[in-house]
Chain A
């Protein structure tokens, strides 16, 4: 079904863009082209329930006349539809108003020329439905369960940005991801794995882990809510830092005083062992080498050895802050710049050593439905799920019912007692753009505010 080639060639993307780069009446035109070919096989109750091949392309034509800017998009890349999109964008430009903060389109001489990251694996891109079904069979055999659920995904993505100002960049990546939940009727367990290359995804290990977690989670007891030490496994750590990023890593949130960075840049906000970056160039990151304005994506330390060091930016917010853009344009002025490849740097401890350091607390496999309660305060809430265990004097003593947490993330990071040495690449929860790379963490304080009956 797929040759292992990107879902859109650089030539096709450039051809689509070139049809409108000289649009009469426009002072400048920029075209963002994206394409994906997703193969996602979902299973539940130990059989395949949904199985899809989704291929799509999109092109967004952004037109500027002076300092007035608007965009229009289409999912048809032929010259007629591209021209229609340009015309609609131009109509919108004429209706809109001047933008005092308009930074202009990116320019290669000023903003740099992007290089591809190249997270491409032809075997992943070429994986057939039969190959995915075989992987699900492997997962189900390894889970040794008649009630396993999850996904096996092999997808490919391509992005290009082209402009009348000379931007011409293209990159593509693949992603293979497995998620497996085992439900033994009394309790559940979880295992997952993700990489740009299917050869690096051990489906059986993830399924075994889910089965072992489910078994270990049997006969849970209720524990009292309170403030405890916790060890977060990488999936749980990943959820926390993803939401911290969403809550405040972008320069727009800083400018609007909604980010913790607005008040704490330059201050100690975490333990010295905590360094959080946006780094698409990390070997376990999955992404592209430029942002949606065509600016090279830089490695940005947001928290460096515990000290808050600054946000990621796009051209607009960089101009407003008087700094150089870091290449994190999201394509949306409303959203602003976005850190799509968050990495929490590794420490030196194994998971067993982190658990061994806990006097009285809990081990959390992962979280469910995390959300922001107070953005500037970095206050998050969410539930534990699929394996929460009591730890006493460095040893797991049994499973507990799930907790709800309400936690100021900066306080949690300030209490870090240890950082895991093994980094895990995590696919975005909702199948979106980018990746998160996270280790396990031992936190000295974590607030559980209520519990549930499972």
Chain B
């Protein structure tokens, strides 16, 4: 473990070296990560892995162009050497430049920030964690048709130190915890899966072991497995156009892919064109594009508690903010950085630049992009559906390079008849065009149904970076949705 003083001295040495080598601006970020991952399959421990990482990265602006270099060798000489490499890279970048990079101003911050944690998950014994997970997998053994049961737990502690040539000096730390269970049922060639509380390793949130305790994995094990078995004989989700209600987990994915990414200003400006793609949204659309119906209100908010995108400052030292992206169905904002904000004449970045670890250059990444709650309960959403489909728990996703044409799939669905859930349906999928789909959103459940979900695997950038992002959602209802689309 490195003390904050030692890291601060290292960062100062790198910052001085970058500036004395010719940078007009530089920032240096040190990151220490402690991670633990447990996986249980049936009664057996499938994986028990721990990983610690510590290093720093230097971002230098020279002649209007960026350079970035990083190292895990933590001594003053390496700090100086790494900073000089960043400057050398920036000078090379400046040889292929059409317009120099400008940064919008940001106040100088000297601060410490710590995410709330009630119960340190690393202080819980491994024995207790494994006991919880194996109890959950045991609870899923409800039928001989259950072929595989899994329970996972992922814990992360991260501390970041940030200094900039403008005088900012920030340290912040947070803990994130996650767990989930999964049952796979098999009958002949039919394979079906159910997960709880969400798919792809469960539910992720900022916070300590209290996040995991609240899930009550064991109490939910039996129903999870029973639903997997029931899916084996459920009829196929029909190919039709109908009313669809999405649960909070799938609404999270819907927000992530069709609102979060298209409103990242780097995508809008073409900076991700060759890899992740661009956006159907353009700068002139701000304030006028009808993104969805009047009930659709979406913000980007790093200031809420409990999200994977909850922080005090982003990775270029901009204070966390809450920004409206879609208000009353109209596009009103983008997620920005200091560089991209300058390109559209904004006065300030709204603080969404983050990097995976110390190894990577910060990019615009969603903090917590939230669909704001409407009113009423989940049952109220169903009540106004005479004939429709309720889909739950994301299973698959794909969307085009402009974030228009999407096809998403869920683990399970139920028919809605006369306002009530009826038969279970397997392999539910739906497709749509982003603003058309959101235009048919006519109801969003209220605050009592609203929850901040987390997705830990958002990919972007080259080299690829995986970011943890949050989404507050409640179940939502959409009309005229094409379902059951498949080959």
The 4 closest A-B pairs by CB, nearest first: A95-B126, A129-B92, A430-B464, A73-B51
By a CB distance below 8 angstroms, the chain A residues around B404 are 452-454
Of the A-B pairs whose beta carbons lie under 8 Å apart in the complex, a sample of 7, sorted by A's number, is A48-B96, A53-B69, A54-B68, A70-B48, A180-B274, A452-B405, A453-B404
By a CB distance below 8 angstroms, the chain A residues around B96 are 43, 47-48, 133, 136-137, 140
Q: Which of A116-124, A145-153, A277-285, A300-308 is near enough to bind chain B? A: A145-153
Asked if B361 contacts A50 (CB within 8 A), the reply is: yes
> In the assembly, what is the distance between CA of A371 and CA of B359, in Å?
27
Q: Which of B271, B360, B486 contacts A373 (CB 8 A)?
A: B486
Most buried by A among B46, B72, B189, B274: B274
Asked if A369 contacts B399 (CB within 8 A), the reply is: yes
A100 → chain B, closest Cβ, in Å? 7
Asked if A332 contacts B47 (CB within 8 A), the reply is: yes
B285 at the interface (CB under 8 A from A): no
Q: Work out how many contacts link A and B, with CB atoms closer than 8 A.
A: 254
The chain A residue with its CB closest to the CB of B463 is: A431
> In the assembly, what is the distance between CA of A45 and CA of B95, in Å?
15
Interface positions, chain B 39-90, Cβ under 8 Å from A, are: 39, 43-55, 65-72, 85-86, 88-90
B480 at the interface (CB under 8 A from A): no
* Binary interface encoding of chain A residues 323-337 relative to chain B, with 1 for a CB under 8 A from any of its CBs, else 0: 000000000111000
The chain B residue with its CB closest to the CB of A44 is: B271
* Binary interface encoding of chain B residues 460-472 relative to chain A, with 1 for a CB under 8 A from any of its CBs, else 0: 0111100000000
B447 at the interface (CB under 8 A from A): no
Interface positions, chain B 386-433, Cβ under 8 Å from A, are: 396-402, 404-405, 407, 409, 427, 429, 431, 433
B143 → chain A, closest Cβ, in Å? 15
B485 at the interface (CB under 8 A from A): yes
By a CB distance below 8 angstroms, the chain B residues around A149 are 270-271, 273-274
Interface positions, chain A 403-444, Cβ under 8 Å from B, are: 404-408, 430-432
By a CB distance below 8 angstroms, the chain B residues around A71 are 48-50
Q: Which of B44, B65, B487 contacts A379 (CB 8 A)?
A: B487
> In the assembly, what is the distance between CA of A159 and CA of B288, in Å?
53
The chain B residue with its CB closest to the CB of A38 is: B463
B330 → chain A, closest Cβ, in Å? 21
Given contacts A132-B92, A385-B401, A431-B462, contact A53 B68 (CB under 8 A): yes
A175 → chain B, closest Cβ, in Å? 11
* Binary interface encoding of chain A residues 39-57 relative to chain B, with 1 for a CB under 8 A from any of its CBs, else 0: 0111111111111111111
The chain A residue with its CB closest to the CB of B152 is: A334
Interface positions, chain B 86-119, Cβ under 8 Å from A, are: 86, 88-93, 95-99
> In the assembly, what is the distance between CA of A181 and CA of B486, in Å?
30
B348 at the interface (CB under 8 A from A): no
* Binary interface encoding of chain A residues 249-289 relative to chain B, with 1 for a CB under 8 A from any of its CBs, else 0: 00000001110000100000000000000000000000000
The chain A residue with its CB closest to the CB of B405 is: A452
By a CB distance below 8 angstroms, the chain A residues around B130 are 95-97
> In the assembly, what is the distance between CA of A373 and CA of B461, in Å?
25
Asked if A49 contacts B49 (CB within 8 A), the reply is: no
B5 → chain A, closest Cβ, in Å? 19
Interface positions, chain A 97-117, Cβ under 8 Å from B, are: 97, 99-101
Q: Which of A83-91, A193-201, A347-355, A392-400 is near enough to bind chain B? A: A83-91
B184 at the interface (CB under 8 A from A): yes
The chain B residue with its CB closest to the CB of A402 is: B400
A154 → chain B, closest Cβ, in Å? 12
By a CB distance below 8 angstroms, the chain B residues around A256 are 147-148, 184
By a CB distance below 8 angstroms, the chain B residues around A53 are 68-70, 85-86, 89
> In the assembly, what is the distance between CA of A136 and CA of B125, in Å?
52
Asked if A47 contacts B92 (CB within 8 A), the reply is: no
User: How many positions in chain B have a CB within 8 Å of any CB in the partner chain?
Assistant: 81
Asked if A376 contacts B97 (CB within 8 A), the reply is: no
B264 → chain A, closest Cβ, in Å? 13
Asked if B431 contacts A404 (CB within 8 A), the reply is: yes
Q: Which of B125, B409, B463 contacts A52 (CB 8 A)?
A: B463
Asked if B148 contacts A72 (CB within 8 A), the reply is: no
B336 → chain A, closest Cβ, in Å? 15
Given contacts A149-B270, A376-B189, A452-B405, contact A73 B50 (CB under 8 A): yes
* B-side interface mostly: mixed
A447 at the interface (CB under 8 A from B): yes
A326 → chain B, closest Cβ, in Å? 21
Asked if B39 contacts A334 (CB within 8 A), the reply is: yes
Given contacts A75-B72, A256-B148, A404-B405, contact A129 B485 (CB under 8 A): no
> In the assembly, what is the distance between CA of A451 and CA of B407, in Å?
12
Asked if B274 contacts A129 (CB within 8 A), the reply is: no
Asked if B189 contacts A373 (CB within 8 A), the reply is: no
B328 at the interface (CB under 8 A from A): no
By a CB distance below 8 angstroms, the chain A residues around B407 are 381, 404, 406, 449-450
B286 at the interface (CB under 8 A from A): no
B323 at the interface (CB under 8 A from A): no
Most buried by A among B91, B186, B462: B462
Asked if A333 contacts B47 (CB within 8 A), the reply is: yes
> In the assembly, what is the distance between CA of A96 and CA of B397, in Å?
35
> In the assembly, what is the distance between CA of A50 and CA of B440, in Å?
39
Q: Which of B90, B134, B147 contacts A51 (CB 8 A)?
A: B90
Interface positions, chain B 263-284, Cβ under 8 Å from A, are: 269-275, 277
Asked if A95 contacts B400 (CB within 8 A), the reply is: no
Asked if B433 contacts A56 (CB within 8 A), the reply is: no
Interface residues on A, range: 35 or more
Q: Which of B39, B277, B405, B487 contacts A333 (CB 8 A)?
A: B39
A194 → chain B, closest Cβ, in Å? 13
A126 at the interface (CB under 8 A from B): no
Asked if B68 contacts A52 (CB within 8 A), the reply is: yes
B376 at the interface (CB under 8 A from A): no
Asked if A334 contacts B46 (CB within 8 A), the reply is: yes
B167 at the interface (CB under 8 A from A): no
Q: Which of A44, A92, A96, A372 contacts B274 (CB 8 A)?
A: A44
Interface positions, chain B 218-272, Cβ under 8 Å from A, are: 269-272
> In the assembly, what is the distance between CA of A52 and CA of B68, in Å?
5
Contacts beyond the supplied A44-B270, A51-B68, A54-B70: 10 A-B pairs with Cβ under 8 Å: A55-B71, A96-B48, A96-B126, A133-B96, A371-B396, A375-B191, A383-B405, A404-B400, A406-B487, A452-B405
Asked if A385 contacts B400 (CB within 8 A), the reply is: yes
B149 → chain A, closest Cβ, in Å? 11
Asked if B52 contacts A450 (CB within 8 A), the reply is: no
Interface positions, chain A 299-324, Cβ under 8 Å from B, are: none
Interface positions, chain A 19-70, Cβ under 8 Å from B, are: 38, 40-58, 60, 69-70
By a CB distance below 8 angstroms, the chain B residues around A52 are 67-70, 89, 360-361, 463
By a CB distance below 8 angstroms, the chain A residues around B463 are 38, 40, 52, 54, 431
Interface positions, chain B 139-154, Cβ under 8 Å from A, are: 147-148, 152
A18 at the interface (CB under 8 A from B): no
Asked if A48 contacts B72 (CB within 8 A), the reply is: no
Given contacts A55-B70, A95-B126, A374-B427, contact A151 B359 (CB under 8 A): no
The chain A residue with its CB closest to the CB of B148 is: A256
Asked if A75 contacts B47 (CB within 8 A), the reply is: no
Given contacts A70-B49, A181-B273, A369-B400, contact A97 B126 (CB under 8 A): no
By a CB distance below 8 angstroms, the chain A residues around B487 are 379, 405-408, 447, 449
By a CB distance below 8 angstroms, the chain A residues around B47 are 332-334
Q: Which of B67, B273, B396, B427 contacts A372 (CB 8 A)?
A: B396
Interface positions, chain B 433-460, Cβ under 8 Å from A, are: 433, 459
B396 → chain A, closest Cβ, in Å? 5
B399 → chain A, closest Cβ, in Å? 6
A219 at the interface (CB under 8 A from B): no
Asked if B398 contacts A452 (CB within 8 A), the reply is: no
> In the assembly, what is the distance between CA of A373 and CA of B408, in Å?
9
Asked if B462 contacts A151 (CB within 8 A), the reply is: yes
> In the assembly, what is the distance between CA of A274 and CA of B462, in Å?
32
Q: Which of B65, B189, B359 contacts A48 (CB 8 A)?
A: B65
Interface positions, chain A 139-183, Cβ under 8 Å from B, are: 140, 146-147, 149-151, 153, 179-181, 183
